[in-house]
């Protein structure tokens, strides 16, 4: 698309809303945002439904924590490998086209996985390979999606609200998806190995179909094209270096990237090990596991709603650190007291605090970045955000498995302490994050 191309008209900014409801959901006034939100919610629900079935299937096939961590790592490792390249592409190419390609690829991988499960595969390796391929598609789709988000609303002050509501859809889907995934697993008798594969195949098919919703939403968007500029004459390596230098020379961006990485490395990755936690420490089956996932999703949705209500509040940086400390305390108590009736509120609080941390951090990063650098900077941020989870999952699984055999609750306890300590260091430092 050349610079001479005329941008499509965008809708006029609606008047500011008053009241709690209007303040919390004001980004829904924009047609583009509504379209992509509902499409993404449908797809995210299918993804979490697949995640529930996939983790249960892996644990049924292997009975080992290590493979859960490896699956999580392989799904996110491509983010580390290709996100920087994906960010450069997002600053050069129509972001809708990138996203559509990503959706079609993920649809294909979901149906492939469904076919393998329906044939009652006896090995975990094809699942792990498809997790890696799905991660590759997300490595390019993620930066494009993040870079597209601020364009869906017309007023800069509504960007934090849009980001928080986008987090809400993802985490609301973490409630809906596991509930339906758990129902399928339970109704179809997922306690038996052969029936687990059949039930998982149903979940994978539903996930594959859900990607169509995003494709339809993307095709209906009315957003201005990317305007080519002098940056597009530079080579890809130079643009990657330019994005890295931009983040490195802004202390606030550097700190926010580290905070996000730590929250996934020591915090949110605990969700990967909920099947083990439910089986070994809470003595529940597939139903208990899906219930914990649903509670985690509900807490996350609440955290995202809280962020949306805050909007463009002052001192978000300090609030981010306080929320991270609160989440760490909840995870610490969960590790010390693995009791079913206590696990539900603690998982809710930990998930809500962490997602509120991510929402506020993401909105801060978006507000600090010019649109010409948005794809690259968001790819660096996403690489840190997504990269922490597989690394944390690998470390946690390695310590809990041979040769160390450290009880999982002890590993999670240590990670919760590190999460709290790091947030305290930044809280009492002279970081510029406190000014935002």
* Residue boundaries of the structural domains of the chain: 23-223+233-435
- pLDDT of 254-283, one tens digit each? 888 889 899 889 998 888 788 888 888 887
Q: Among residues 242, 258, 256, 217, which one has the least CA distance to residue 91?
A: 242
Confidence band for 6, pLDDT divided at 50, 70 and 90:
very low
The Cα 288–Cα 211 span in angstroms is: 28
CB 124 within 8 A of CB 61: yes
Q: Is residue 348 scored above 50 in pLDDT? A: yes
pLDDT of residue 294: 80
Q: How far is CA 109 from CA 97, 115, 180, 272, 353, in A?
A: 19, 10, 20, 21, 32
Average pLDDT of every residue of the chain: 82
Which string of DSSP letters, residue by residue, matches 190-256? TTSHHHHHHHHHHHHHHHHHHHHHHHHHHHH---PPPPP-GGGGS-HHHHHHHHHHHHHT-HHHHHH
Please name the residue that has the structure tokens 């949110």. 268
- pLDDT of 100-126, one tens digit each? 999 999 999 999 999 998 888 888 999
pLDDT of residue 323: 94
| Domain spanning 23-223+233-435, CATH architecture | Up-down Bundle (1.20)
pLDDT of residue 9: 42
């Amino acid at each position: 698309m050349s610079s001479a191309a005329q941008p499509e008209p965008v809708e006029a900014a609606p008047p500011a809303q008053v009241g709690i409801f209007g303040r919390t959901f004001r980004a829904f006034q924009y047609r583009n945002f509504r379209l992509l939100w509902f499409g993404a919610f449908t797809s995210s629900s299918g993804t979490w439904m697949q995640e529930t079935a996939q983790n249960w299937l892996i644990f049924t096939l292997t009975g080992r924590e290590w493979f859960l961590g490896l699956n999580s790592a392989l799904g996110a490792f491509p983010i580390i490998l290709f996100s920087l390249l994906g960010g450069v592409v997002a600053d050069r190419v129509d972001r809708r086209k990138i996203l559509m390609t990503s959706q079609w690829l993920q649809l294909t991988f979901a149906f492939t996985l469904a076919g393998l499960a329906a044939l009652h595969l006896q090995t975990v390796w094809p699942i792990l390979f498809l997790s890696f391929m799905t991660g590759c598609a997300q490595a390019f789709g993620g930066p494009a999606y993040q870079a597209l988000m601020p364009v869906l609303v017309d007023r800069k002050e509504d960007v934090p609200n849009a980001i928080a509501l986008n987090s809400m859809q993802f985490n609301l889907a973490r409630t809906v998806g596991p509930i339906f995934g758990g129902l399928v697993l339970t109704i179809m008798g997922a306690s038996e190995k052969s029936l687990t594969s059949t039930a998982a195949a149903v979940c994978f098919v539903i996930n594959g179909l859900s990607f169509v919703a995003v494709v339809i939403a993307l095709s209906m968007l009315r957003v201005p094209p990317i305007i080519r500029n002098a940056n597009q004459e530079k080579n890809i390596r130079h643009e990657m270096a330019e994005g890295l230098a931009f983040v490195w020379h802004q202390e606030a961006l550097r700190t926010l990237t580290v905070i996000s990485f730590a929250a996934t490395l020591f915090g949110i990755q605990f969700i990967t090990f909920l099947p083990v936690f439910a089986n070994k420490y809470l003595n529940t089956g597939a139903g208990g596991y899906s219930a914990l996932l649903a509670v985690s999703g509900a807490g996350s949705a609440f955290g995202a709603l809280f962020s949306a209500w805050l909007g463009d509040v002052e001192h978000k940086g300090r609030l981010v650190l306080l929320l991270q400390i609160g989440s760490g305390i909840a995870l610490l108590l969960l590790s010390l007291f693995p009791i079913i009736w206590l696990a539900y509120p603690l998982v809710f609080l930990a998930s809500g605090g962490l997602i509120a941390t991510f929402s506020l951090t993401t909105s801060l990063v978006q507000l600090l970045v010019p649109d010409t650098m948005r794809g690259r900077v968001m790819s660096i941020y996403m690489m840190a955000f997504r990269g922490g989870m597989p690394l944390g999952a690998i470390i946690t699984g390695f310590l809990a498995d041979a040769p160390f055999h450290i009880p999982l609750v002890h590993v999670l306890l240590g990670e919760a302490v590190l999460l709290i300590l790091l947030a305290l260091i930044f809280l009492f430092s002279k970081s510029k994050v406190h000014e935002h």
